[in-house]
Chain A
Amino acid sequence: MGRMPKWADAVLVPLLSLIIAFVISGLVILAIGEDPVEALKIMVTGALGSTYGWGYTLYYATNFIFTGLAVAIAFHAGLFNIGGEGQATLGGLGVAIACLMLPWPHWSLALLASVVLSAAFGAAWAAVPAWLQAKRGSHIVITTIMFNFIAAALLNYLLVNVMRPRGQMDPASARFPAETNLPDLHQMLGWIGIPFAKGTPANVSLFVALIACVVVWAIIWRTRLGYEIRSFGKSEKAAIYAGISPVRITMYAMLISGALSGLMAVNTVQGEANRLLLNSVEGAGFIGIAVALMGRSHPVGVFFAALLFGFLYQGGAELALWTKIPRELITVIQALVILFTGALDEMVRAPLKRMFLASGRGGQ
């Protein structure tokens, strides 16, 4: 069996899938009686045309980097973690506890505490499905879906009955003290004299996400654990024969995955809302699936895919503002990206492969 060159597999296939997804989205826009070219212009101007737009694009991208990495590392172990939503919900609980428990003197200390707690809470929420998969053979996709719903119910209970301050109507925690508020990009870039729009939600968590990319890359390709995770994902039987414990790998991969999902909450809960709300995850856990698929489970790919989805999110909001196209267009695009880069991958790949093989033979 011949193979496609590596660059074609890593770049050409996802790019082609993306183009197909976008062409169909364009047709959808046409079908609802709007102009796709005009729509694209509005999206680009709104999301990338100003530092204000970038502030939102990067804020969304930060979420998607975390959830994308979370799905990606589980993919490497051959596991499909569809529970990012629930793990990020629990991560939010960790952030709220970190910010409300102690009077932090400075945001950097509060950030450290919330990073640790959100990761721990997210990992803990992933640990149960992981253990059930490793020890009892329960299908992890189903258990993580169930844990998403259980997490939503748990948070609902805690916000309504426990964390809501007396006399407040809406189900949300108390506002975090001002000392825990994270600096946004306007402040941070101001320290080094770069002008950046005020009042955007992008904050220091972006850099935590970038660090996470590097750490995940190092874990996967530069550590023994990463090697074991990858061999387990490629062939479970071979990995077991080589002395790799399936229980250990499933647990580690899912704990790291859950921790990354949980970290997302630092960006949304501490970086933006400054209090814990009912639905602060807003589907980012699921977008992680699209991001990991597009990014071919590589941190660099995940970074660019997250940036693309950040652009789509902010661009979609602009579209809803200036045209009659509802925000849900983004959900359709997201679905098409997941469909073509994930489920229909073979449909895109097979003709390309044939082309490469044919041209390869011609050259020899």
Chain B
Amino acid sequence: MMDFAALIQLLDSTVRLATPLLLACLAGLYSERSGVFDIGLEGKMLIAAFASAAAAAATGSVWLGLLAGIFASLMLAGLHGLASITFRGNQLISGVAINFLASGLTVLLGQKWFGLGGRTPSLEGAARFEPITLPFAGSLAPVPVLGPIYSELISGHSILVYVAIALVPASAWLLYRTRFGLRLRAVGENPAAVDTAGVSVTGIRYAAVAITGILCGLAGAYLSTALAAGFGREMTAGKGFIALAALIFAKWRPWYALAACMLFGLLEAVSIRYQSIDLGFVMIPVQFTQALPYILTVVILAGFIGKAVPPRAGGEPYVKER
């Protein structure tokens, strides 16, 4: 059986792996809650991961890298907004296009700038987000049970991990306790009513899509400058879609999103650590663990265990005066 130290390690890597999912999941939350479906989370994360690593490699500063990542992701978010809000195009198709655009452009530009077959140079020192040691982590470490939990599981992550966790209550507050949040949710459920009240549907939706862009930028920057030390082609490897799955699993709610992302992060950590799990009576192959987030999402979408109801106006462009 697994000992305590191994459990702490597993949970530690769960937090690490759940962070990009959580950032992307919260990103999707804003857009989808405002009625703009976004299956382009993957693409925005990918281009942000690339831009962050490229800028960090060029300037030696991870903060400039982060800014570049957010900027790149915002560009694609703007494109998605243009297509799905201004020109009332199909939001799903726009998302597909954005994923391909990011997938192609990152390799094209990476090859042109660095000539490493789409990779960026390895980042080190100030070009990466370093782990932060929380106060007293060293002195508390010998304390039984709580010591390792504090010093290894809670302390020692990069700043973006803490930002991601802090964004959960912040998002819950913004969405449920502020005027902007109320309007954002209303625009996703009944845009005509919001319009009648004299609030610009277009404005709110663009704002939501922009927040999505910024958060996807954080997610991508985390991947290439904190979790890994540089960009590799297709490095998001479907994480944007797992985040999307987590968003549905969380029924488009911030706190549930945290739980869903942690669960999916744990599944990923398990599948990396153990090839297959022997339960005595049955062997669970690693592929099953990898597919479990998707299977769970389908089950929840099917409504057999709780029903996930998307925002009512999701996917529909708003046409004024009809």
Query: Which residues of chain A have a CB within 8 Å of any CB of chain B?
Result: 28, 32-33, 80, 82, 128-129, 132, 136-139, 141-143, 145-147, 149-150, 153-154, 156-157, 160-161, 286, 289, 293, 324-326, 328-336, 338-339, 342-347
| B contact residues around A128 at 8 Å (CB) | 298
Which residue of A136, A150, A286, A342 is within 8 Å of B291 (Cβ)? A150
Contact B96 A146 (CB under 8 A): no
Which one of A82, A136, A146, A344 contacts B92 once the chains associate, using CB atoms below 8 Å? A82
**15 interchain pairs (CB within 8 A)?**
A32-B109, A141-B37, A146-B294, A149-B238, A150-B294, A154-B287, A160-B287, A326-B118, A328-B105, A331-B104, A335-B101, A335-B103, A339-B101, A344-B82, A346-B88
Which single member of B39, B83, B88, B100 contacts A335 (CB below 8 Å)? Answer: B100
The chain A residue sitting closest to B285, CB to CB, is A157
The answer to whether A339 and B97 touch across the interface, beta carbons within 8 angstroms, is: yes
Within 8 A of A (CB), among B280-320: 285, 287-288, 290-291, 294-295, 297-298, 301-303, 310
Indicate if B90 sits at the interface (CB-CB under 8 A): yes
Contact for A145 among B98, B103, B241, CB less than 8 A? B241
A154 to B288, CA, bound (A): 8
Contacting pair B96 A338 (CB below 8 A): yes
**Chain A nearest CB, measured from B304 CB (Å):** 8
- A126 CB to nearest B CB, Å: 13
Complex CA distance for A344 and B303, rounded to whole angstroms: 34
B302 contacts across to A, CB distance below 8 A = 132, 136, 138
Q: Beyond A149-B291, A153-B287, A335-B98, is A342–B301 a contact (Cβ under 8 Å)?
A: no
Interface residues on B, range: 35 or more
List B residues 85-115 near A (Cβ within 8 Å). 87-94, 96-101, 103-105, 107-109, 111-112
Please classify the interface of chain B as helix (H, G, I), strand (E, B), loop, or mixed, using the class held by over half of its residues. helix
Chain B hits for A154, CB < 8 A: 287, 291
Residues from chain A with a CB closer than 8 A to the CB of B104 are 328-335
Name the distance in Å between A289's Cβ and chain B's nearest Cβ: 6
Number of A-B contacts (CB under 8 A): 149
Please pick, from B93, B98, B241, B294, the residue contacting A289 in the complex, using a CB distance under 8 A: B93
Please give the residue numbers on chain B whose beta carbons come within 8 Å of chain A beta carbons, in ascending order.
37, 39, 79, 82-84, 87-94, 96-101, 103-105, 107-109, 111-112, 118, 238, 241, 244-245, 248, 285, 287-288, 290-291, 294-295, 297-298, 301-303, 310
Hey, which chain B residues are within 8 Å of A143, CB to CB?
298, 301
CA distance A289 to B39 in the complex (A): 14
Whether B290 and A153, one on each chain, are in contact in the complex, defined by CB atoms closer than 8 angstroms, is: yes
Query: In the complex the two chains form, is A326's CB within 8 Å of B94's CB?
Result: no
- Picked from B90, B91, B108, B310, the residue with its CB within 8 Å of the CB of A329 is B108
CB of B107 within 8 A of CB of A82, answer: no
